[in-house]
């Protein structure tokens, strides 16, 4: 057009010369067919969906490694699924999508190219029956489905990088998908697994960091203290709750019931006590039973009383092995006082005058059984 205008101006001129030459050139078919390509239009990106699995992009990758692979990408989370296929017919494609839909639900829209398996009547009926809108972009313009095309490129590059590694194709595919789903995406700055499943997928790298439960449990534990512990046969002082005032009495550890619970022999009776109810006997020495005032409960025990109150007898140790403490060998138990610790006489020194703690029950026949005179 420019050269024709220059040539015409050398020889002739008429009103409207430029416009007439432009009209002539624009109506020339052979000239228009040989024009270079126009500049590409600005990119028109897809709108970002409001939730996962609302718009899905699909495409086939292959033949690659003697197989075909169906690539599925979620537009919201960038979650990728790869289905290895031996055939790309409409029936096999529908079966692969039906398996994914059963796991994640039905999408709202699905974007694909104009491949024969995607434009077939069976495929259209399958999507229509499930309420899925099918969007097909313009033929021979793969940039319109850039989400799937980029996923195909990423998949192929990763599988080529792992070609020299050991393992089957399925193992390599699983390793690639786990790595892809747990790596922050360049667009969302978040891992696809966290956006798609609303949770963080656990990998072997998470083992490096301590678990939150262990950290909280360590913080909730009190400061480390030396745990008191008694061994079987240790001479101890245990709490005696039988009187009006709580006192201490001698005993021997005969069994450990738990981390802080013990069974103690108190002059032939078995008492269950917590570690807080037990203290070391100190310089106690074994003494004879005569050095300690007898307990009235050893001879007078209610029939319905618990086992500990009835004084369950032990095979070992015998009563002669019960320790005697200098603080408790006297007949007076130790009691607490605000000003000082004093020894008071809490029991009668006369064994014969000891009264039973509980009244004895007197049994008599009902009146209806008494014989009338």
CB atoms within 10 A of CB 234: 18
Over the stretch 207-237, which tens digit does the pLDDT of each residue have? 887 777 777 777 766 665 667 888 999 999 9
Over the stretch 230-266, which tens digit does the pLDDT of each residue have? 899 999 999 998 888 888 999 999 999 998 999 999 9
Over the stretch 94-144, which tens digit does the pLDDT of each residue have? 999 999 999 999 999 999 999 999 999 999 999 999 999 999 988 888 888
Q: Is the pTM of this model over 0.85?
A: no
Over the stretch 263-320, which tens digit does the pLDDT of each residue have? 999 988 999 999 999 998 866 654 444 434 444 444 333 434 444 443 444 444 444 4
What residue ranges define each of the domains in the chain, with the CATH number in brackets? 55-205 (3.30.420.10), 235-335 (no CATH)
CB atoms within 10 A of CB 88: 18
Task: At 201, give phi and psi (nearest 5°).
Answer: -75, 140
| Cα–Cα distance measured from residue 313 to residue 177, given in angstroms and rounded to the nearest whole number | 70
| Cα–Cα distance measured from residue 148 to residue 59, given in angstroms and rounded to the nearest whole number | 6
pLDDT level of residue 34 (50, 70, 90 thresholds): confident
pLDDT of 352 higher than 60: no
In the Cβ-directed half-sphere of 218, how many Cα atoms lie within 13 Å? 6
| Residues 330 and 344 sit within 8 Å (Cβ to Cβ) | no
- For every residue of 279-294, DSSP letters joined together read EE--S-EE--GGGSPP
Over the stretch 319-347, which tens digit does the pLDDT of each residue have? 444 444 444 433 444 334 433 333 334 44
Whole-number pLDDT of residue 40 = 76
| Residues 312 and 270 sit within 8 Å (Cβ to Cβ) | yes
């Amino acid at each position: 057009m420019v050269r024709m205008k220059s040539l015409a101006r050398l020889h002739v001129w008429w009103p409207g010369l430029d416009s007439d030459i432009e009209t002539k050139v624009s109506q020339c078919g052979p000239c228009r067919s040989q024009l270079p390509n126009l500049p590409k239009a600005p990119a028109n990106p897809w709108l970002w969906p409001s939730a996962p699995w609302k718009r899905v992009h699909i495409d086939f990758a292959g033949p690659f490694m003697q197989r075909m692979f169906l690539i599925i990408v979620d537009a919201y989370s960038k979650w990728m699924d790869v289905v290895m296929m031996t055939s790309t017919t409409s029936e096999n494609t529908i079966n692969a999508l039906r398996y994914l839909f059963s796991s994640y639900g039905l999408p709202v829209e699905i974007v694909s190219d104009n491949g024969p398996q995607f434009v077939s009547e069976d495929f259209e009926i399958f999507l229509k029956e499930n309420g899925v809108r099918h969007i097909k972009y313009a033929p021979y313009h793969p940039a319109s489905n850039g989400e799937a095309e980029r996923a195909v490129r990423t998949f192929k590059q990763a599988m080529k990088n792992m070609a020299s590694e050991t393992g089957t194709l399925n193992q390599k595919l699983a390793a690639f998908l786990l790595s892809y789903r747990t790596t922050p995406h360049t667009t969302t700055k978040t891992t696809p697994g966290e956006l798609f499943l609303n949770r963080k997928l656990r990998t072997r790298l998470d083992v490096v960091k301590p678990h939150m439960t262990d950290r909280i449990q360590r913080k909730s534990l009190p400061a480390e203290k030396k745990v008191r512990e008694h061994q079987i046969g240790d001479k101890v002082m245990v709490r005696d709750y039988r009187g009006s005032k709580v006192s201490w009495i001698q005993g021997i550890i005969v069994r450990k019931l738990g981390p802080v619970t013990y069974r103690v022999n108190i002059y032939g009776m078995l008492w269950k006590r917590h570690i807080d109810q037990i203290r070391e006997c100190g310089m106690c020495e074994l003494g004879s039973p005569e050095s300690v005032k007898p307990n009235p409960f050893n001879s007078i025990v209610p029939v319905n009383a618990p086992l500990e109150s009835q004084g369950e007898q032990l095979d070992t140790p015998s009563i002669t092995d019960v320790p005697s403490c200098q603080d408790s060998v006297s007949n007076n138990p130790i009691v607490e006082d605000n000003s000082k610790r004093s020894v008071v006489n809490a029991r009668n020194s006369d064994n014969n005058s000891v009264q039973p703690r509980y009244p004895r029950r007197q049994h008599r026949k009902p009146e209806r059984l008494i014989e009338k005179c």
